[in-house]
Amino acid sequence: MDTSSQNDRAAWLRGRIAKCAHLPGRLARPLRVVLLGAPGVGKGTQAALLSQRYGACHLSTGDLLREAKTQSSREQTLAMSSALNFMRHGALVPDTIVWQLVRERSGCFQCPGGFILDGFPRTLAQAGALQHLMEAEALQLDAVINFELPASEIVARLSGRRTCATCKAVFHITSQPPQFADTCDRCGGLLYQREDDRAQAIVVRLQAYERSTAPLIDFYSAKGLLTSVPAAGEPEQICLHTMAALEERKVNRAAHSGDASPAARGLFVV
Ligand code: AMP
């Protein structure tokens, strides 16, 4: 597959010193959304699909922490090595460390194509910090999509998941196998099982979700931003439902605001 025109997310994954190889063109109406949902509901897969459709950058805190893991131990600060230890066991990384990483990348929130936040925020403290950042950057979230899936399916998805070591594309050994064993269809990279997709870590992650992340559903619902989408079925189908939910929100918002201009009523894409 030709990956030459895909955004490599360098500025997000490696921080300010790096520049993205291909910035999307400036859109009249860039999409800015948060994806919520338990680990394993498919946020990463949906973020990648939505990113292809809308041109918005896929901002995953999990991906940037995994990127930090690829640095040699001498390059890693003490705080970062302790953060990676939390991650390895399926626990949440402390808010201060995650927030420092996100704040250093605040330029990505101004991405001309918009953004899709995947895995952030994960606690009420992070959601509050994001809100302040958005206000400071004079930006607004368009929606928060909450992907819903029964717990039994979540465990099956996590334990069969394989991730590309190079481009981070996500596969599943039965429901979305790669064409060639252990090889990424997108870039030819090696597929591996994340440490935190192993059985003991899955239990810890689901507990962390219930305790710290599930309260965000009420937080964003109270702000009128939340839209729930069932996450069972084929990724393409779920993506279509998500796009329909986003477009519906757009039309509803235009109707409530009385703004009937094409920009207000139009799709998120130009
Ligand atoms: P993910 O790829 O989103 O499933 O994240 C993998 C792991 O990275 C999580 O289980 C946490 O250990 C850590 N992590 C990612 N994002 C956050 C966050 N916003 N807050 C705390 N920990 C995070």
Report CA(92)–ligand 1 centroid distance (Å): 6
Q: How confident is the model at residue 2 (pLDDT cuts 50, 70, 90)?
A: very low
pLDDT in tens, 190-216: 999 999 999 889 999 999 999 999 999
Name the residue at shortest CA distance from atom 8 of ligand 1: 62
Type of residue at 258: G
Q: Cβ(10)–Cβ(21) under 8 Å?
A: yes
Q: Is 61 in the pocket of ligand 1 (CB under 6 A)?
A: yes
Closest CA to 51 of 98, 101, 1, 117: 117
Is residue 51 a part of any domain in this protein?
Answer: yes
Q: Is the pLDDT of residue 257 over 70?
A: no
Which atom of ligand 1 has the smallest separation from the CA of 92? 22
User: Of 259 and 160, which is predicted with more confidence?
Assistant: 160
- The pLDDT assigned to 240 comes to 97
Is residue 126 a part of any domain in this protein?
Answer: yes
Residue written as tokens 């302040």? 132
Is residue 254 a part of any domain in this protein?
Answer: yes
Name the residue at shortest CA distance from atom 2 of ligand 1: 62
Q: What is the mean pLDDT of residues 101-126?
A: 94
Is residue 38 a part of any domain in this protein?
Answer: yes
- The pLDDT assigned to 256 comes to 62
Q: For residue 86, what are the domain limits?
A: 30-150+215-265
Name the residue at shortest CA distance from atom 1 of ligand 1: 62
**CATH number of the structural domain spanning residue 229:** 3.40.50.300
**Sign of the torsion formed by the C-alpha atoms of 44, 149, 232 and 217:** negative
Count of domains for the chain? 1
Is residue 4 a part of any domain in this protein?
Answer: no
pTM: 0.86
Is residue 15 a part of any domain in this protein?
Answer: no
Is residue 122 a part of any domain in this protein?
Answer: yes
Q: Cβ(159)–Cβ(197) under 8 Å?
A: yes
Q: Is the pLDDT of residue 112 over 70?
A: yes
Which atom of ligand 1 has the smallest separation from the CA of 65? 8
Q: Is the pLDDT of residue 270 over 50?
A: no
Is residue 203 a part of any domain in this protein?
Answer: no
Q: Tell me how long the chain is.
A: 270
Q: Cβ(215)–Cβ(127) under 8 Å?
A: no
